[in-house]
Amino acid sequence: MNVAVFCGSASELDPRILVAGRVLGQQLAQRRLGLVYGGASVGLMGAVADAAIEAGGEVIGVIPQTLVDAEIAHRNLTRLEVVRDLHRRKARMAELADAFAVLPGGLGTLDEAFDIITWRTLGLHEKPVAFLDTLEFWKPLRALLDHLVETRFVKPHNARLLQFCATPEALLDALGGATR
């Protein structure tokens, strides 16, 4: 089983977010779950991958050629797949994944997460999605989802497809059967 992790590549983060990412990487390896992620060696992405590798886990990176050219590709993975663009990266990660974990990140993380969530609401997959809500990072998103439900742009059952978890362990537990 593989868990796709969407997260940021920024390095100047609250150290507690980096620790949570490393714990998630370790937990994935300890539970014998493969990590599929964006293939970078930097920031939260690099922290999750490094921790999974150090704990003996399988780590598959999927990275567009432009980021390989920018020299941020992780070179010590189980497998690194280089794709043409970000669209192909998302599609390939979705193919490889049995579940999705969304960690703190920026616009790219939101783009990846909302594509996967939209695909789920359209019935294109039934894979679970959970957000790691370290330091209540996703509190504004939870409020926005409540607003979208209140204004009837999002159906309540679709909003409930998103699970928010305070710890890496709770996140993996929330992903349920895909992580056993």
Closest by CA position to 46, among listed 3, 66, 17, 81: 17
Q: Mean pLDDT across the stretch 146-160? A: 96
Q: In this predicted model, which residue has the larger pLDDT, 89 or 178?
A: 89
For residue 180 the two structure tokens come to 């056993």
Q: CA-CA distances (angstroms) from residue 154 to 43, 62, 89, 103?
A: 32, 31, 27, 22
Tell whether 180 is covered by a domain.
no
Q: What is the distance between the alpha carbons of residues 76 and 169, in angstroms, rounded to a whole number?
A: 25
Tell whether 43 is covered by a domain.
yes
For 32-87, the pLDDT digits (tens) are 999 999 999 999 999 999 999 999 999 999 999 999 998 899 999 999 999 999 99
Q: CA-CA distances (angstroms) from residue 131 to 17, 65, 99, 106, 113?
A: 13, 28, 11, 13, 9
For residue 142 the two structure tokens come to 């939870």
Alpha helices in 36-163, H assignment, sequence order: 43-54, 65-69, 86-96, 107-121, 139-150, 156-159
Sign of CA pseudo-dihedral 118, 119, 125, 128: negative
Structural domain that includes position 33: 2-174
pLDDT of residue 179: 45
**pTM (2 decimals)?**
0.94
For residue 104 the two structure tokens come to 């703190």
3-class DSSP state of 163: strand
> What is the CATH number for 71?
3.40.50.450
How big is the CA angle at 171 (ends 106 and 58), to the nearest 5 degrees?
Answer: 85
Tell whether 179 is covered by a domain.
no
Q: What is the distance between the alpha carbons of residues 15 and 37, in angstroms, rounded to a whole number?
A: 20
> What total number of domains does the chain contain?
1
